[in-house]
Each structure stands twice: as structure tokens, then as C-alpha cells.
């Protein structure tokens, strides 16, 4: 593999990592603030009010 290909491969895997981490972050924020299971809601209730998420 020549240097150019190596750079391109590294760049693509870098972008993939970034997309993965961003999606993970979005999922975690969704679970924290928006998911509506009753158990999650009750446990997260005060945090949701105190963070400004739309709660119940």
C-alpha cells in the first residue's frame, strides 16, 4: 500500500470513529432526556426537569 492509500484509509477509519462516537452521543442524550419508559422516566425525573428536557 502506498503512502497515499494509507493516508486515505486512516482518514476513512478516522471519520468512521467520529460518526460512531457522535451517534453514540446522540443516543445517550436521547435516552437521558427523551426515552419514555416508566422506570427510566421516574429515575431520571429530577434530572430531566433540572436539565430542561421536555418531561412528561
> Residue 2 or 42: which CB sits closer to another protein?
42
Whole-angstrom distance, CA of residue 22 vs CA of residue 48: 21
Q: Which of 6, 8, 9, 13 is close enough to bind another protein by CB under 8 A?
A: 13
Do residues 33 and 53 lie in contact, with contact meaning Cβ atoms separated by under 8 Å? yes
Q: Which CB, 2 or 56, lies closer to another protein?
A: 56
Sign of the CA dihedral running 14, 17, 23, 26: negative
Note the residues at the interface with another protein (CB under 8 A). Answer: 11, 13-15, 17-22, 24-34, 36, 38, 41-47, 49-56
Amino acid at each position: 500500500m502506498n503512502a497515499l492509500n494509507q493516508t486515505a484509509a486512516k482518514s476513512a477509519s478516522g471519520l468512521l470513529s467520529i460518526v460512531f462516537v457522535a451517534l453514540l452521543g446522540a443516543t445517550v442524550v436521547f435516552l437521558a432526556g427523551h426515552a419514555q419508559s416508566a422506570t427510566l422516566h421516574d429515575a431520571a425525573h429530577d434530572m430531566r426537569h433540572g436539565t430542561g428536557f421536555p418531561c412528561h
